[in-house]
Amino acid sequence: MYKGRTKGKFIVLEGIDGSGISTQVQKLKGFLETTYGVKAILAKEPSEGPIGTLIRQFLNGRMVGIDDKSLALLFAADRIDHNIEKIMPVLEKGDYIICDRYLWSSYVYQGIKNDMAWLQEINKYVYEPDLTIFIKVRPEITLQRITGSRYKTEIFEEHKVLQHVFDNYLKILDEWKRSRKNVVEINGEQNLESVEKDIRLAIKKYHADMS
């Protein structure tokens, strides 16, 4: 992975489906802009680019019949395209980019059916985030939230799969902590305000550590 090359900051939020990432990226944007006077741009993977758009069609079932390896390659290709088209230009300007899912999502979702060494290989040219925030919510909690508020079941939204994804998240979290990368674990089972508050504290600590 490439790292440490620009003035801007690259922050990623990760968690299983229904863990509240999309809500928290919005709140984080507001917090960064008002507290630090920076410009913060929101991003998401799969991206809104051509490869990300194709991936979404497979995820929502409008297109069918892709094998696990091809899907993993599409996610990696989308990430490289996203790095070049959106993430790097923002960082080079010195702005912040907050991304809803990134590399860990490939490790934990595609990691169910593919080996980790190969996933690392196909993702080796992507930029390393400055900070990865993991919103920890157990599958039994997110499934209650998902079935309560959405009517479309996406292919990944089943308990057994989510449990596997969750376990994979804990593994990667542990590995990155041990290799001293910047990661933070947030208790996502609290109410929204408390989750938001904990993310703010983590960001303050990150900035204090950096200065």
Write out the residues near ligand TYD by the rule CB under 6 A.
Answer: 17, 45-46, 59, 75, 101, 105-106, 109-110, 156
Which lies closer to ligand TYD via its Cβ, residue 6 or residue 168?
168
What minimum distance in Å lies between the beta carbon of 126 and ligand TYD? 10
**Residues comprising the chain, all counted:** 211
Q: Could you give the residue ranges of the DSSP H alpha helices within the chain?
A: 21-36, 50-59, 68-82, 88-93, 103-109, 116-122, 139-149, 159-178, 192-210
C-beta neighbour count of 185 within 10 angstroms: 17
Which lies closer to ligand TYD via its Cβ, residue 8 or residue 46?
46
Residue with the shortest CB distance to ligand TYD? 109
Q: Is 177 helix (H, G, I), strand (E, B) or coil?
A: helix
What minimum distance in Å lies between the beta carbon of 83 and ligand TYD? 13
In contact, 42 and 95? CB cutoff 8 Å: no
What minimum distance in Å lies between the beta carbon of 210 and ligand TYD? 26
What minimum distance in Å lies between the beta carbon of 50 and ligand TYD? 15
What minimum distance in Å lies between the beta carbon of 124 and ligand TYD? 15
Q: Is 93 helix (H, G, I), strand (E, B) or coil?
A: helix
Cα–Cα distance, 74 to 97 (Å, whole number): 22
Which lies closer to ligand TYD via its Cβ, residue 90 or residue 126?
126
C-beta neighbour count of 59 within 10 angstroms: 15
What minimum distance in Å lies between the beta carbon of 129 and ligand TYD? 13
Give, for 85, the enclosing helix (H) or strand (E). none
Which lies closer to ligand TYD via its Cβ, residue 171 or residue 205?
171
Which lies closer to ligand TYD via its Cβ, residue 131 or residue 162?
162
Which lies closer to ligand TYD via its Cβ, residue 22 or residue 35?
22
- What CA–CA distances, in Å, run from 33 to 4, 40, 78, 94? 22, 6, 28, 13
- What CA–CA distances, in Å, run from 164 to 100, 112, 129, 145, 193? 20, 7, 24, 18, 28
